[in-house]
Structure 1
Amino acid sequence: MNKKSVKDKVVFITGVSSGLGKDLAELLLKEGAKVIATFRKESQAKSFEEKNEGNAIGIVVDIKDNKMIEQGVKRALDHFGKIDILANNAGVGALGAVEETTDEEARHIFDVNFFGGLSVIRAVLPIMRQQESGHILLFSALGGFHGVPGFGIYAAAKSATIVLGESLAGELAAFKIDVTVLTIGVFDTGMSTRVLFAKNELEAYKNTPVGGFKEFIRNIPGKEPNDPKKAAKAILNILKSDNPPLNTAIGPDALEGMRKRLSHINTEIKEWESNAISTIKDE
């Protein structure tokens, strides 16, 4: 299955300050790839570049700022002359019932988890189309594959990422550009400690699944079932494949969750099939 090499491939990765993005960048560098990595702080970017001199570029990018994204992509192109792989990893976790989440909070969640990634894709695509090659990785989450009470807006943004990836795959096949949507499980990346909680918490939801899920997230740091370094290796396997998947799980919890939702949908389709087809015009 794994025949390709990532040696000398140029990889643009967003969100390398910590967690999975950091581990993926380090692994790719060990494999001989060239890495352009985005960070939140100048000191992080400088340290990364100095540590991997000649093989890496560290850039400060606010994923919500299109100008910063365009400047980062231009710097990558000026330095390495191409971009072979885009790993859209940057994101933020957010908790709150749909009713609790303000418009401002919802827009921020979508700006970081969906529109930011969309802007990076648009900036990179002209390069990949000209090359007639490339691979785009979109980082979704189990919460984006099926709705979770208390995770509604975050799940909606991640779900939008899945559908975007599926649409992109059809649009970009003619240019020999692969697209893979990763449904990520729960990993020990520290993200659970940085989750944004809706400020307008309503007492009405305290004893519902929303409240239970909030407590689960508050208590999970250090108990996450998956190792991000192993996730990086799983992603590397996909990048090396001659036939990469469009949709795939990263983590057994993600795999189980995907299977359960597909099974539930299939059951409901069968149960309501006669109602669904009842709309056909009479002869």
Structure 2
Amino acid sequence: MLNWFVTGVSSGLGRAIAKAALAGGDQVIGTVRCQADAEAFTALAPGRAHAMKLDVTDEAAVGVVWRTAEQLFGPMDYLVNNAGRGFTGAIEETSLEDARALFEVNLFGPMALIKSALPSFRARRSGHIVNVTSVSGLAAWHGTALYGATKFALECLGRTLAQEVAPLGIKVTNVAPGGLRTAFSAERLAGAEPTIADYAETAHLARATLQGHLGAEPGDPDRAAAAIVSALAAPEPPLLLLLGDDALKYATAEFAMLEGEIVRWQDLTLAIAAEPAAVAAE
């Protein structure tokens, strides 16, 4: 029986991941924000589903909860950084206060958990860190700059971490879903205020699109969770796992655009080469 620590299991993908792990006979320590959610989660599999209250932006609490989980339930095999919030709005409309708050949840919270997990993972020379990012962390989309920026940052954090911990037997996987049929857009999506009319045809379309597709998103969260569990069990798990045909489409288009820009401007890129250094005469 493996031990999973999954943040944000009250609903959505986090709950689906927890249910998939429980269905496989594993034990899940899931974080929630209120008592009602804690009771609902533990009822999924009494004795193997354990809820712990946690606000991931409380750095001190993160360390305490992680240590308590390992003391009560044994060493963790997986850390799944799933908890997060969405945000739409033009960059000009977004306050720095809102931007900082979003980074606290979507980047610094996961980082605090990673830092809490690494000492025990290093000691055992094992463990797997899973970061739920987003296709918006790979492909820019007007109206989602700040949300995308947090996910771009988490993508970089995960990829760099993978390089640092690979020699220690620790694995890292970034999971980048597209749209999933959850309540995320209804319950976890904030917006910039006040709005500016000039962005009606660009940045404001993001929120309208997300809410217009509510309940009709292309991805099934339970199938996404099954895909994640399957990928993590592979002998060589992926560093990046895209989920959904929309994620594949947007990421592929973004990478093709970037490759095109690199090729188109490569002459200027190479034009800055310095002259060879003079060799001092003996």
Q: Give the TM bin, normalised by the shorter chain.
A: over 0.9
Residue identity opposite 1:191 in structure 2: F
Which residue is equivalent to 2:183?
190
**1: CA distance, partners of 2:29 / 2:87:** 27
TM-align CA RMSD: 1.1
Letter aligned with residue 234 of structure 2:
S
Residue in structure 2 matching 1:204, options 192, 198, 204: 198
Q: Distance in 1 between matches of 2:211 and 2:38?
A: 30
Q: Helix, strand or coil for the counterpart of 2:76?
A: coil
Aligned-partner Cα distance in 2 for 1:55–1:114? 28
Matched, 1:217 2:171: no
Match of 2:279 in 1: none
Which amino acid is 1:228 matched to? P
Q: 1:278 aligns with which of 254, 260, 271?
A: 271
Greater displacement, 37-46 / 270-279: 37-46
- Distance in 2 (CA, whole Å) between partners of 1:22 and 1:187 is 13
User: Which residue in 2 is equivalent to 1:81?
Assistant: 74
- 2:198 is matched by which residue type in structure 1? A
Structure 1 Cα separation of the partners of residues 33 and 77 of structure 2: 23
The residue aligned with 2:170 is: 177
Partner residue in 2 for 1:55: 48
> SS where residue 138 of structure 1 aligns?
strand
For each residue in 1:176-208, what CA deviation from the matched residue of structure 2 results, as whole angstroms up to 9, or x when unmatched?
0010111111001110112101122112212x2
Question: Of residues 42, 62, 85 in structure 2, which corresponds to 1:69?
Answer: 62
Distance in 2 of aligned mates of 1:222 and 1:181: 25
Match of 2:280 in 1: none
Structure 1 consecutive aligned stretches of length 4 or more whose deviation exceeds 4 Å: none
- Assess, with a 3 A threshold, how the Cα gap between structure 1 residues 266 and 51 changes in structure 2: closer, same or farther: closer
In the alignment, which residue of structure 1 is the partner of 2:151?
Answer: 158
| Superposed counterparts of 1:28-177, under 5 Å | 28-177=21-170
Structure 2 runs not aligned, ≥5 long: 277-282
Tell me by how many angstroms 1:150 deviates: 0.6
Give the whole-Å Cα distance in 2 for the aligned partners of 1:24 and 1:260. 28
Alignment partners' CA distance in 1, 2:149 and 2:211: 21
Q: Confirm or deny: 8 A CA contact 2:2 2:26 kept in the other structure.
A: yes
Q: TM-score, normalised by structure 2?
A: 0.95
**Deviation (angstroms), 1:214:** 2.3
Instruction: Report the alpha carbon displacement of residue 255 of structure 1 after superposing the two structures with TM.
Output: 1.2
Q: Does 1:266 align with 2:259?
A: yes
Where 2:133 maps in the other structure, the secondary structure is strand
CA contact (8 A) 1:192 1:220 kept: no
Residues 63 and 169 of structure 1: CA distance in aligned 2, closer, same or farther (over 3 Å): same
Residue 97 of structure 1 deviates from its aligned partner by: 0.5
**Deviation (angstroms), 1:251:** 1.1
Q: Which amino acid aligns with 1:126?
A: P
Amino acid at match of 1:233: A
Where 1:209 maps in the other structure, the secondary structure is coil
Instruction: Select the residue among 242, 245, 252 that pairs with 1:252.
Output: 245
- Aligned equivalent of 1:25: 18
Larger radius of gyration: 2
Which one-letter code corresponds to 2:197 in the other structure?
E
Q: SS of 2:52's equivalent?
A: strand
Question: What letter matches 1:26 in structure 2?
Answer: K
Q: Give the aligned residue type for 1:58.
A: A
Unpaired runs of 5+ residues, structure 1, are 1-7
Preserved contact between residue 9 and residue 41 of structure 2 (Cα < 8 Å):
no
TM-aligned CA deviation for residue 67 of structure 1: 2.0
1:201 maps to amino acid: T
Q: Tell me the distance in 1 between the aligned counterparts of 2:7 and 2:63.
A: 13
> SS in structure 2 opposite 1:279?
coil
Instruction: Check the 8 A contact 1:35/1:55 in 2, yes or no.
Output: yes
SS in 1 for 2:107: helix
Tell me if structure 2 keeps the 8 A contact 1:57–1:76.
no
